Amino acid sequence: MSLLNREVFWPPADELVEVAERIRARLGEWPAAETRWRICLTAPEAPKANDIVVFTEAPDVAVNGGGAILEAHGNRVTLRRGDERFALEGVLSDDWLAALAAFLDCNFEPHDALTLALAWRAGDENKDDAWPVDFATFPRVADLPAAPERAFPACPDRLGLYPVLPSADWVERVLELGVRTTQLRRKSTDSADLQREIARSVEAGRRHDAQLFINDHWREAIAAGAYGVHLGQEDVQTADLNAIAKAGVRLGLSTHGYYEMLRALHFRPSYLALGAVFPTTTKVMPTKPQGLARLTRYVQLLSGRVPLVAIGGIDAKVMPDVLATGVGSAAVVRAVTEAPDTAAAISSLQKMFAGQR
């Protein structure tokens, strides 16, 4: 956990390292950082791939080496990594660079570590719980398109067991077994097939008074009168969120860390999905698994602000630990679709939610 005897800052900055070490000591145990990032306070003589070069004025020098550029001007900080750009606005404490080093050492990716560093306030290390959990101190994501004028309809704060299913047959079967929140994730490019499957699933949702979400295919979901749609982060750039909101369709958004959660909240979705909690083989994930410790912190920050759904690699074995974080819903796939006895699996999983309040 120690930051000492490591090249954390360049040029060497003993005072910053001491503050970073003090902050890191109060953040608890986290997996060892997979990348030993070096925060460069000026353009380095010999750039490295794990450099984060900080500029407080417009860069007047090209930085090569495959690292990241961090531009901090007033209350705005922009991180650039290759073609990716992360812009945040907020109040910067005097310790924000030291906090950035500490959160990087907790194995957070630079954009999430930066989000946490901007939420950090001088003296937070003296609190009983030093982790940033006060939403008011968190920055906002800058340069986003306007959110829809009409807010997305609300959904229950606790959506409970949330099976993600491949077909209308599965949706009908699961709803008949008492599940009241589910999603159709139909992997098909056949428009006729999609329309049939979505229409059947929506009708089943109506028949059972259930919350039925359609994954990705928002146009077909609107046409069928679906309860909701679920979109990924990349879909926000291409989907017509105004059309979804005007149709009265609820919106769930996937997130994979602090930056994406703040970005998603800008659009005032009906719920946020937090994941992937554990490794999953059902789809290719853009980020490494989050784990229960991160999920716990996400719930502490966002609980009461928006309904939350844990997703990714969740089965009956880990479900009690997932629910112990306080999250109000958990999505499952193989725990239902590959269960030897579907009815028994759903009954067992439903009982795990029964004790939630």
Q: Are residues 236 and 115 in the same domain?
A: no
Distance CA 24, CA 9 (A): 15
CA distances from 102 to 4, 36, 57, 197, 291 (A): 12, 11, 24, 48, 19
313 annotated ligand binder:
yes
168 and 197 both lie in a single domain: yes
Going by their DSSP bridges, the two strands 250-255 and 228-231 should be labelled as parallel
Is 220 in the same domain as 193? yes
DSSP string, 135-193: GGGS-EE-SPPPPPSSPPPP--S--EEEEEESSHHHHHHHHHTT--EEEE------HHH
**pTM of the shown model:** 0.95
| 75 domain-assigned | yes
Is 169 annotated as contributing to ligand binding? no
In a domain, 239, yes or no: yes
Q: Known binder of ligand: residue 185?
A: yes
Residue 195 lies in a domain: yes
Q: Compute the C-alpha angle 24/73/266, nearest 5°.
A: 75
Q: Which residues pair with 271 in a beta bridge?
A: 252
> Is 48 contained in some domain?
yes
pLDDT tens string 185-214: 999 989 999 999 999 999 999 999 999 999
Check pLDDT > 60 for residue 274: yes
Lowest mean pLDDT among 28-32, 109-113, 218-222: 28-32
317 is in an annotated binding site: no
Do 195 and 126 have their domain in common? no
User: Based on the domain organization, do 132 and 171 belong to the same domain?
Assistant: no
296: annotated binding-site residue? no
On whether 312 is known to bind a ligand per the annotation, the reply is no
Return the structure tokens found at 349.
């999983």
193 marked as part of a ligand binding site: no
In whole angstroms, how large is the CA radius of gyration of the chain?
22
Same domain? For 168 and 311 the reply is: yes
pLDDT greater than 70 at residue 342: yes
Q: What does the alpha-carbon distance between residue 32 and residue 105 come to, in Å, rounded to a whole number?
A: 7
Per the structure, the count of domains in the chain is 2
**Is the domain of 224 the same as that of 344?**
yes
183 assigned to a ligand binding site: yes
Which residues of the chain form beta strands (DSSP E)?
9-10, 38-40, 51-55, 68-73, 76-81, 84-89, 140-141, 160-165, 181-184, 211-215, 228-231, 250-255, 271-275, 308-311, 329-332
Same domain, 107 and 217: no
- How high is the pLDDT of residue 160? 97
Query: Is a pLDDT exceeding 60 seen at residue 1?
Result: no
Buried b (16+ CB within 10 A) or exposed e, 284-306: ebeeebbebebbbbbbbbbbeeb
Q: Tell me if 107 is assigned to some domain.
A: yes
Q: Which residue type sits at 345?
A: A
* Residue 280 assigned to a binding site: yes
Span 295-326, pLDDT tens digits: 999 999 999 999 999 999 999 999 999 999 99
328 is in an annotated binding site: no
pLDDT, position 296: 98
In this structure, the answer to whether residues 209 and 126 fall within a common structural domain is no
Mean pLDDT for the stretch of residues 252-264: 98
Backbone angles phi, psi at 139, to 5 degrees: -75, 175
| Inside any domain, residue 151 | no
Of 114, 141, 168, which one is at a domain's C-terminal end?
A: 141
- Of 141, 171, 201, the residue that ends a domain is 141
Residue 235 DSSP label: G
Could you tell me if residue 61 is inside a domain?
yes
Reported as a single tens digit per residue, the pLDDT across 45-62 is 888 999 999 998 877 656
| Residue 257 pLDDT | 97
Quick one: 164 and 137 in the same domain?
no
Alpha-carbon span 318 to 309, nearest angstrom: 15
Does the pLDDT at position 125 exceed 80? yes
Residues 214 and 344 in one domain: yes
Is 281 annotated as a binding-site member?
yes
Angle, to 10 degrees, between the axis of helix 96-105 and the axis of helix 110-119? Answer: 140
Look at residues 79, 107, 141 and tell me which one is the last residue of a structural domain: 141
Question: Which residues form the domain of 258?
Answer: 160-354
Residue at 147 is within a domain: no
126-141 pLDDT, tens per residue? 999 999 999 999 999 9
CATH number of the domain enclosing 314 = 3.20.20.70
Domain match, 201 and 274 both: yes
Strand pairing partners for 10? 40
